[in-house]
Structure 1
Amino acid sequence: MDSVFSLIGSYVDFKSLLLFTVVFVLAADYVKYRRPLGFPPGPLSLPILGNIFTVDHARAHETLTQLAGKYGHVYSLRSGPQWFVVLNGIDILKEALVTQGDSLADRPNIALPIDISNGLGVIFNSGHNWRQQRRFALSTLRYFGFGKKSLEPVILEEFTHCAEEFRSFKGKPFNPHLITNNAVSNIICSLVFGRRFEYNDEKFRKLLQYFDKIVQIQASLSAQLYNAFTALMRYVPGPHQTIKQICKDVKDFIREELNEHKQTLDPSERRDYIDCYLNEIEMSKGQDDNTFDEENLIMCVMDLFVAGSETTSSTLRWAFLYMAKYPEIQGKVQAEIDKVIGQSRQPSMEDRVNLPYTEAVLHEIQRMGNIVPLSLPHSTTRDVQLGGYTIPKGIMVFTNLTSVMFDKNEWETPFTFNPGHFLNEEGKFVKPSAFIPFSAGKRLCLGENLAKMELFLFFISFMQHFTFSMPAGVKPSMEYRFGITLAPKDYEICVTSRVGEQ
């Protein structure tokens, strides 16, 4: 009988201990992670997990925009143990990124990007390293024509290769994804590697598929769990492990290119970005503040590829879809191009001023495509006052570009494709202040000038030479695939040559 009472007592003690433990954990979590005084409001968070499951990670930008309707332009969420703030609306974003730009110039220490980059490169680093690498990248790429007229022939020559690929399908349906990626990536290849890659190069095609996966996985639920509970998730299989192997393979590819450059390097003749970087490594040896070495070079090249190709390629694939969906708009674009340029002369950036409708259509594609919906996260370098709230130093901040690009107070028909958003009453092109697809401030997209040139010249060339339509009986789907970038889900399209129509 004593043993029975002892067993019951042990069970009661176990239940009491369990209850005490649960209550203690909940109380400790509340005390440790409650919102500080003056901190932006937001939805209730679960103990330990925070708001990880508040957000639909397949449509995170939509969820965050909806939450702004309830909690205001500045609100907070919690991912595991880490608080972050979401900024919405053009006024708050400009206040944060431009007026108080120095206060949000850093990137946060997010586990997965840090594990991949080791704090190197030009995207997910901060401070002296970032400033030195960004300054070098911009000056070197400008030397090779980055954003200048001298790069136009390179882009137009690449279009001719892409056009040949498109024509090879003879009007039959095909998926333009990899071909478009290859065409756009070859521009950054010419600047970084000093050469282009053929469209049937399987090794390079695999590399492009890797970049595609990188931007998807970085924004996945698996990645968010890894960033929130790194010590545990390091031992759990999933996409967050896959991306590490992918990035290792990408770095190995770049390392091979680097080794080839080292064998043929002539310090007196700079062929490309890698040559310039190798020279900089030699010249910077022994300097106290030196950040130039081969590992940083490899990560910088990887960053330049992602920044310089994925966004532009996705925008062009949205362009094909929108032109197929709205054939009357496509026809007006082609008519304007035929009138101003014709079908024989190649376009130039100087033609922009004479193509207001085409410019408006291209900008509306960028707005509706919403390529980088949440931009990249920032981190406060000091306590910041925004929207009447205090955001302490070291807090991660997301600038929700979606809230601006689809703001009903800024756009007449925010959810409808309407080139009129960028035309005044006289039909001249105008760019509203709420159009910020490349973000703003000190962390403005490194590849903005290149992207603008590529988008204009490629889009004009495609419209000049081809008509885009969906396969018979197929309606264009505007569904996206969420990641760091918003890309259209894979589709097939028909491309018909226009040459000789005039």
Structure 2
Amino acid sequence: VTALGLVLCISCLLLISVWRKSHGKGQLPPGPVPFPIVGNMLQLDFKDITKSFGSLAKSYGPVFTLYIGSEPVVVLYGYEAVKEALIDHGEEFAARGSLPIIDAVNKGLGIVFSSGEKWKQMRRFSLTTLKNLGMGKRNIEERVQEEAKFLVEEFKKANDKIREEIDHVIGQNRSPCMKDRRSMPYTDAVVHEIQRHLDLIPSNLPHAAKQDTQFRQYAIPKGTIIFTSLTSVLYDEKVFPNAQQFDPGHFLDESGNFKKSNYFMPFSIGKRVCVGEGLAPMELFLVFTTILQNFTLKPLIDPKDINITPIATGFVCVLPPYELCFLPSL
């Protein structure tokens, strides 16, 4: 009886502690009732965190609170909530959320996991370095072309429509360049759709509130970790019909021209957008097009038997391995 009473007392104290964190500095968003010590961790599928967030969003709305242990985490689900937090409240949510395992390795260093003045200095340095390399200019384009030529020695793939654009716009006598992208809308759409469908970092890297922040009708205390679901944006059925299907048409208009979408945010958005966001699209287009210019890619099994279901969809999307045959183009 004494032991049971002790357990009940400890549980009550933990629940009171959680309640105080939820209400001490204002009203945190609603969410499932946490268990003592573990919080809501038992209610989450860490192999498919995206599915768990989607289910909770249906019950509690696009802004809800979870507890990882005793620590509250605010989850933002859907384009409107993500955009409002990272753009409209970009400064307030510009801090990087703390992850104990990563903190132990990085010790708060580096551009990805640092915060405050240290992060600002690192970001300025990184952007300046990329600009000095000629980001978006001819010299860096030539470097990417050289990299693509090297990769061509090992890889390649083709699609009828991509092949048609490559043959029509580039041919076989020169390397692709960035000015070709405007004349290759289907290829550009394929590159975008690969990034959308891959959904590499489903819940984004964690942000944190730099200060006590009023967000919608809620009060978010300083230091609260913020997860922004990029999956909920990249897979929004209103913007990307049949979002679970790989379809380059998501980025093409009725005339076959490339169309941009505000919902395309594989690099996140706002002040903590990936510092390589300006360089990566150029590399992806040049490398991808150069590979397809020189090789035809064929699977070793019937395409309909290829399983593209991720092994895990936690904080990073982990895909199964694939085997392909690269055939030199004639």
Q: TM-score, normalised by structure 1?
A: 0.62
Pair 1:28 & 2:17 matched = no
The Cα shift of 1:484 comes to 4.2
CA distance in 2, matches of 1:477, 1:493: 13
**In 1, are the aligned partners of 2:155 and 2:291 still within 8 Å (CA)?**
no
Q: Which amino acid aligns with 1:121?
A: G
For structure 2, the 5+ residue unaligned runs are none
Pair 1:488 & 2:302 matched = no
Question: What residue in structure 2 maps to residue 47 of structure 1?
Answer: 36
Question: What residue in structure 2 maps to residue 381 of structure 1?
Answer: 210
Q: Following TM superposition, where does structure 1 have runs of at least 4 consecutive aligned residues deviating by more than 4 angstroms?
A: none
CA distance in 2, matches of 1:472, 1:50: 45
Pair 1:418 & 2:231 matched = no
**In 2, are the aligned partners of 1:65 and 1:402 still within 8 Å (CA)?**
no
**In 2, are the aligned partners of 1:92 and 1:387 still within 8 Å (CA)?**
no
Q: 1:98 aligns with which of 84, 87, 101?
A: 87
Pair 1:126 & 2:120 matched = no
Question: What residue in structure 1 maps to residue 178 of structure 2?
Answer: 349
CA distance in 1, matches of 2:265, 2:235: 11
Q: 1:161 aligns with which of 150, 155, 160?
A: 150
**In 1, are the aligned partners of 2:98 and 2:206 still within 8 Å (CA)?**
no
Structure showing the higher helix proportion among its residues: 1
Pair 1:435 & 2:272 matched = no
Q: 1:477 aligns with which of 307, 310, 318?
A: 307
CA distance in 1, matches of 2:18, 2:315: 27
Pairs within 5 Å for 1:226-241: none
Q: Is the partner of 2:245 in helix, strand or coil?
A: coil
Pair 1:457 & 2:286 matched = yes
Structure showing the higher strand proportion among its residues: 2
Q: Is the partner of 1:446 in helix, strand or coil?
A: coil
Pairs within 5 Å for 1:67-146: 67-146=56-135
For structure 1, the 5+ residue unaligned runs are 1-15, 168-319, 324-329
Identity of aligned residues (%): 40
Deviates more, 1:443-452 or 1:417-426: 417-426
CA distance in 2, matches of 1:354, 1:166: 24
Q: Is the partner of 2:327 in helix, strand or coil?
A: strand
CA distance in 2, matches of 1:54, 1:377: 20
Q: 2:55 aligns with which of 56, 66, 74?
A: 66
Pairs within 5 Å for 1:306-321: none
**In 2, are the aligned partners of 1:149 and 1:349 still within 8 Å (CA)?**
no
State the Cα deviation string for residues 178-219 of structure 1 (Å, max 9, x = none).
Answer: xxxxxxxxxxxxxxxxxxxxxxxxxxxxxxxxxxxxxxxxxx
Q: TM-score, normalised by structure 2?
A: 0.93
Corresponding residue pairs, total: 324
CA distance in 2, matches of 1:67, 1:463: 42
Larger Rg: 1
Question: What residue in structure 2 maps to residue 390 of structure 1?
Answer: 219
The Cα shift of 1:473 comes to 4.6
